[in-house]
Amino acid sequence: MFAIVRTGGKQYRVAAGDKIAVEKIDGEAGDTVSLGDILLAGDGGEVKSAEGLVVSAEIIAQTRGEKVIVFKKRRRHNYRRRNGHRQSLTLLRILAVGDAKKAAPKKEAAPKTEAAPAEAKAAPAKEAAPKKAAAPKKEAAPKAEAAEKKPAAKKAAPKKDA
């Protein structure tokens, strides 16, 4: 059985056992995710209803694609820009294409929530150090006084006719 799945703005034809590289999906290697946006399903040469179907997949790795060079140039304007870009990707292994009832349960990333309280306990020790008091700021002279100190502009001498 195969399915057409949409994820990351792209469409993929998948079947059980396939490996695909998709736009980044949150999760760690070994986690199971379910792709629910199924556009079409089929078995052999016939098309089946895509309602209630779920594609379950296992995350193999979080990786990045090949570097793409972006070069911009405007003729006769001395304008050249060269940038590189690497897209973040997730490698998936399709486990099953089937009903939502039969799909493998989705694993939750529990270790991240346990690590947060340990970091919170360490943070108050850093804040206990005394902070230095800021130096008092000097007040700037008012603008009116600065204007008075400027010398008066010299008047130009009258021109003599020759």
Residue 113's pLDDT is what? 45
Residue type, 155: K
Strand arrangement of the beta sheet that strand 38-43 belongs to: 10-15, 2-7, 38-43, 46-48
pLDDT digits (tens, 9 = 90+) for 92-111: 999 999 876 654 455 544 44
Residue 44's pLDDT is what? 82
CA separation for the pair 145, 49 (Å, rounded): 84
Closest CA to 13 of 39, 52, 31: 39
Q: Is 28 helix (H, G, I), strand (E, B) or coil?
A: coil
Residue 49's pLDDT is what? 85
42-62 in b/e burial notation, b at 16+ Cβ within 10 A?
A: beeeeeeeeeebbbbbbbeee
- Please answer whether residues 103 and 94 qualify as being in contact, where contact means their C-beta atoms are separated by less than 8 angstroms: no
User: Which residue ranges in the chain fall short of pLDDT 50?
Assistant: 103-104, 108-116, 118-120
Residue 2's pLDDT is what? 93
